[in-house]
């Protein structure tokens, strides 16, 4: 962050939480984490009403997410998406 490297798009897709970056050549790179402990849990979520309402995801503020993480909010709670 201090080097000016910031994501241009941050989104909680439901099964994953992602940050998208551009490299100096303009290529896009996605860094993501799995939001569920098992693939089965992620697949079940994709058959839920929450996925039906919004299959793309919900944008989030990475600075707010980091602030909550540093305050001790568990990762499992940070990645919950309705």
Q: Which pLDDT does position 17 carry in this prediction?
A: 97
Q: Which pLDDT does position 10 carry in this prediction?
A: 98
Q: What pLDDT tens digit does each residue of the chain (82 aa) get?
A: 788 899 999 999 999 999 999 999 999 999 999 999 999 999 999 999 999 999 999 999 999 999 999 999 999 999 998 6
Q: Which pLDDT does position 19 carry in this prediction?
A: 98
Q: Which pLDDT does position 4 carry in this prediction?
A: 85
Q: Which pLDDT does position 77 carry in this prediction?
A: 94
Give 6's Cβ-side CA count (13 Å radius): 6
Residues listed for the chain: 82
Dihedral angle computed from the Cα positions of residues 78, 33, 6 and 30, in that order, rounded to the nearest 10 degrees: -140
Greatest Cα pair distance in the chain: 40
């Amino acid at each position: 962050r201090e080097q000016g490297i910031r994501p241009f798009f941050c989104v909680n897709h439901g099964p994953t939480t992602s940050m998208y970056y551009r490299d100096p050549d303009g290529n896009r790179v996605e860094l993501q984490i799995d939001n569920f402990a098992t693939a089965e849990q992620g697949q079940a979520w994709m058959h839920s009403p929450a996925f039906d309402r919004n299959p793309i995801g919900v944008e989030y503020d990475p600075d707010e997410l980091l602030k909550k993480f540093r305050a001790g909010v568990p990762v499992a709670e940070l990645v919950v998406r309705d």
